Structure 1
């Protein structure tokens, strides 16, 4: 029977693949945004500065702090990659999200499972790079290979999981090919998956199943509870899968961004440590919007991992601020083995 031997939760954002100086490329967009999600409200930049004036965010976003936190994130990624290599999984399941890389307003499924033989990725063309928001193209090396590359899917496991999920009341979209959209800013698998391939698996990608969740775009975002229940069903199905395979589970995304909320992030860590399923399921939709919505991938992975005997702790947590408004990305890393 299959055995889940490793669980990993990791952030995947641009701060992990850019220099501390390049983090500031996003500042003009921060100032222009009139509706930053923070906790359960939406605020412009100046309002956030006033709301958070007592948190010392000017110092926390200084070059010295950015440099220190960047180095700590790189060290944490190395520890995650070393743990992955040591576990020697045969197969992986990756819970990630799509930010209109594969899907757009023509079709936006809530849950998609990729069940094809090959998952491809490639660098952006100059025309695509010109369409990227400021600061995004600089991070591309962290989730895209230097040339067209195909990675192994796992159709047998994917089809088995799809069948089990449908039998248990989940409506699943399936894709056996990645789309190539005309005049689109992106091609290939999304960054939630590419980051894991390049920086955690160090380009040694095992056969795997991508679970692609619409965390970002209303109105069909699955709730935290639905994500947890879906992950739990996946975990139970894997443990009943007949092949003798060592399986790794990933939750790729989060933590709080594009405005950082350290208190909220530590609540997530506490729920993982306590295996507090209800604490995760009860998080309201107002808390899981914009970039913070990617924590639903962590919640799905928790569903798959809470009923295993694996255990572990936080590798590191680095709130990577770029402004006195608290904009930036909180980066967190956890593994269980």
Structure 2
């Protein structure tokens, strides 16, 4: 039977793949919008006042950003080393889409990809020009230099879709990435592409992408449902008549676009304790904006808690870029 041999939880955002100087390209956008923080939405200037005692201006200097960038690169290298050392045969990735493939006209809560292959490739300049500053500069980490076809996992995807129907899950199903003629994106969503590029280091293996709508109302799944999704995926892998060695990845997070270290550390602690109740009871109001991507970590936890794998935190790095606490907290956990 198939066996899960590796579990990874990893962030994937643009700060991991841009320079400390380029992090600041995002700050004008930070200042122009309001942000969710601890269940409430605040204008940027109010967050500055609210968090003044945390000394975030000093924690977002170039010196601090450079130190945090270095820590992140070391953690990414360690994740890639573990991946290479374990050398799994196939991967299941829980990730999300940010208007890359899934548009508001038809927005499933969960989509299972069952195609034989999927693809990614370089971004034409006219498309990349539509990307915000600070995002465009990170595209190298999400795209191969030439159009590349990746192997899907249609057999396992089919089993998941069928088991889901039997257990009251109504997944959307996709067998091809859509290509929109006037859109800013094409190819594989970055939640998955980052893993293919920076974790697998382009030595890709057959992969099952499971897309969760973490970001966009009105149908964002609840944390308890994502945990149950993970348990369902585990049961399907366990019953799969195959001798393949499986890696399971939760891609996304941690807290952003405003960092909440208390929340992040609580979630990491719950993973370390295998605390199902903590993860399932998370208030959805704390899972807003980019922090919502941690639903992918919850799904991976639902799958991996059922295994006998063990491991620990590789690193947690809160990468501040402003005195309001904007930025992305980066986290990396591996179980073997």
Q: State whether TM-score is above 0.5.
A: yes
Question: 1 CA distance for matches of 2:147 and 2:244?
Answer: 29
Equivalence for 1:180: 179
DSSP-derived class of the 1:54 partner: helix
Equivalence for 1:121: 120
What RMSD in Å do the two structures reach over aligned CA positions?
Answer: 0.7
Equivalence for 2:4: 4
Equivalence for 2:165: 166
Q: What pairs with 1:199-214 in structure 2 (closer than 5 Å)?
A: 199-214=198-213
DSSP-derived class of the 1:93 partner: strand
DSSP-derived class of the 1:248 partner: strand
Provide, for residues 199-240 of structure 1, a one-character-per-residue CA deviation record: whole Å limited to 9, x for no partner: 000001111100000000001111000000011110111011
Equivalence for 2:48: 49
The alpha-carbon deviation at position 284 of structure 1 amounts to 1.1
Question: 1 CA distance for matches of 2:286 and 2:109?
Answer: 18
The alpha-carbon deviation at position 168 of structure 1 amounts to 1.1
Q: What pairs with 1:186-335 in structure 2 (closer than 5 Å)?
A: 186-335=185-334
Equivalence for 1:14: 14
Question: 2 CA distance for matches of 1:72 and 1:182?
Answer: 39
DSSP-derived class of the 1:120 partner: strand
Equivalence for 2:136: 137
> Does the Cα contact within 8 Å between 1:259 and 1:328 map onto a contact in 2?
yes
Provide, for residues 111-130 of structure 1, a one-character-per-residue CA deviation record: whole Å limited to 9, x for no partner: 00111111111121111111
Q: Which runs of 5+ in 2 are unaligned?
A: none
Provide, for residues 94-125 of structure 1, a one-character-per-residue CA deviation record: whole Å limited to 9, x for no partner: 00000010011111111001111111111211
DSSP-derived class of the 1:270 partner: helix
Q: What pairs with 1:97-108 in structure 2 (closer than 5 Å)?
A: 97-108=96-107
Q: Which runs of 4+ in 1 moved over 2 A?
A: none
DSSP-derived class of the 2:94 partner: strand
Question: 2 CA distance for matches of 1:47 and 1:150?
Answer: 47
Provide, for residues 7-42 of structure 1, a one-character-per-residue CA deviation record: whole Å limited to 9, x for no partner: 000000000000000000001101111x21111000
Question: 2 CA distance for matches of 1:107 and 1:234?
Answer: 24
> Does the Cα contact within 8 Å between 1:165 and 1:230 map onto a contact in 2?
no
The alpha-carbon deviation at position 266 of structure 1 amounts to 0.2
Equivalence for 2:24: 24
Equivalence for 2:58: 59
TM-score by length of 2: 0.99
Provide, for residues 224-260 of structure 1, a one-character-per-residue CA deviation record: whole Å limited to 9, x for no partner: 0000001111011101111111000000000000000
The alpha-carbon deviation at position 59 of structure 1 amounts to 0.8
State how many pairs are aligned.
336
Equivalence for 1:153: 152
Question: 1 CA distance for matches of 2:163 and 2:154?
Answer: 14
Provide, for residues 281-322 of structure 1, a one-character-per-residue CA deviation record: whole Å limited to 9, x for no partner: 100110001100000000000000001000100000100000
DSSP-derived class of the 1:7 partner: strand
DSSP-derived class of the 1:84 partner: helix
Question: 2 CA distance for matches of 1:89 and 1:129?
Answer: 33
Provide, for residues 65-115 of structure 1, a one-character-per-residue CA deviation record: whole Å limited to 9, x for no partner: 100100110010010011011111111100000001001111111100111
> Does the Cα contact within 8 Å between 1:16 and 1:70 map onto a contact in 2?
yes
Question: 2 CA distance for matches of 1:105 and 1:233?
Answer: 27
Question: 1 CA distance for matches of 2:268 and 2:91?
Answer: 23
Question: 2 CA distance for matches of 1:237 and 1:153?
Answer: 16
DSSP-derived class of the 1:103 partner: coil
